[in-house]
Amino acid sequence: MLKDADFFSVLCDSSTDRSEDEKEIVYVRIVKNGLPTFLYMKLVDVKSGKADGIVQAIDEAFADFDMDGAEWRAKMIGFGSDGASVMTGKTNGVAAILQRDVPWLVQIHCLAHRLELAIKDCLKDTYMDEIVNILVSVYYFYKGSPKRLRELESIADIMDEQFLKPERANGTRWVEHKQKALAKLEKTWRSIVVHLESYASDMTNRAEDRAKARGINNRLLQYKVVLYMHFLLDVFDQMSQLSLLFQRDDITVPSVVLKCEHVQLMLTSLLTVNGSYLESFYQHAAQIFDPRNWPDNRNDLTAFGREDLQTLLRHFEQVLANTNPPVNANDVNLQWEKLLFRVVVDWREGKEAKLPPTFRPGSK
């Protein structure tokens, strides 16, 4: 099939085998029955990790298909790689060496890899760094500790929630690893928060571990963290669709352009319209604790939030009953009444003018 092809593209990337020896994996992309198709060629030993050694490995892969260097070079029209300097160096990179014999060669930096780098660069030095640190902290807190995982699973079972083992957030596929870790944290957030709080108060655990659990829990309970986590899930949901398209065997340039335009449109819409994850967060009963959502009219404020508060009490009824001492729903309702009364009194006396805008009822 390969020898019969009129033209093809070559793709290669570094890899290893079970012995961890350096290898080069070689693919070709041909047109079969009118559709682009990837064919695996060979995992080749690399005598040298430099450009010349990689070119030699590609030659060896084609030799297994009875094609010498001149024959396969004459049919090669494209070369794809991960963009590493050894591959794309202008003077002595693999592509540059091949272009000396194949002047028409089109060099392509892997689209999926470029997307990963672009997203990583866009989120660099943003609040994403804090989210990643939290994801990493959660992962390593439970990694290698069957006892903690069993405790977390038990709490998830008590709360009638799905148990998901925390995911590793740092990996070679930046978007995929971050999305999976975020999605699991979003689904198990309540269980993790309850477990960390319980773990931190259990004096049988080491003081160092209790402090670590308390620190992670305090960060997870920050409003901005939970809000940003849901926003990122909406962003990654769009980006992952683009990444998956870039990884398809039958990808074509027109399909890439069309999908990029669609994703760009969807991401732009997130500036004004909440995505599904962020919308679900805003619909949560805990919105009553954000003063920006409180009504402008003080008469409306006196009855504000009662139904949402009961929703929260019902949802966490079993957890609240297990605290020491147990949380009494009547006490919670009474404290809420006192809070509203205090706000109304301050409102009448004009004290709200002394508060920062984001903490005044009705402020946006």
- State the pLDDT at residue 360: 45
Is the pLDDT confidence value at 358 over 50?
no
pTM, full prediction: 0.66
pLDDT digits (tens, 9 = 90+) for 21-30: 778 889 999 8
Domain boundary among 75, 109, 143: 109
Which one is predicted more confidently, 290 or 221? 221
- State the pLDDT at residue 112: 80
Please state, in angstroms and rounded to a whole number, the distance separating the CA atoms of residues 81 and 10: 9
Residue 230 sits in the same domain as residue 166:
yes
Is the pLDDT confidence value at 328 over 50?
yes
Backbone angles phi, psi at 36, to 5 degrees: -70, 135
Residue 164 sits in the same domain as residue 272:
yes
Domain assignment present for residue 2? The answer is: no
Residue 124 sits in the same domain as residue 242:
yes
Total domains in the fold of the chain: 3
Pick from 172-176, 201-205, 292-296: least confident: 292-296
- State the pLDDT at residue 16: 63
Domain assignment present for residue 3? The answer is: no
β-strand partners of 9: 29, 78
Rounded to a whole number of angstroms, the CA Rg of the chain reads 28
Residue 16 sits in the same domain as residue 33:
yes
Domain boundary among 62, 82, 109: 109
Residue 147 sits in the same domain as residue 187:
yes
CB 79 within 8 A of CB 10: yes
- State the pLDDT at residue 199: 94
Residues of the domain holding 249? 120-280
Rounded average pLDDT over 85-105: 90
Domain assignment present for residue 38? The answer is: yes
To the nearest whole percent, how much of the chain has pLDDT over 90? 32
Domain assignment present for residue 136? The answer is: yes
Residue 19 sits in the same domain as residue 53:
yes
Rounded average pLDDT over 97-112: 89
Pick from 22-31, 102-111, 217-226, 316-325: least confident: 316-325
Q: Which of 129, 130, 81 is nearest to 105 (CA)?
A: 81
Residue 275 sits in the same domain as residue 290:
no
Residue 158 sits in the same domain as residue 304:
no
Which one is predicted more confidently, 20 or 316? 316
Rounded average pLDDT over 324-342: 83
Domain assignment present for residue 175? The answer is: yes
Residue 274 sits in the same domain as residue 290:
no
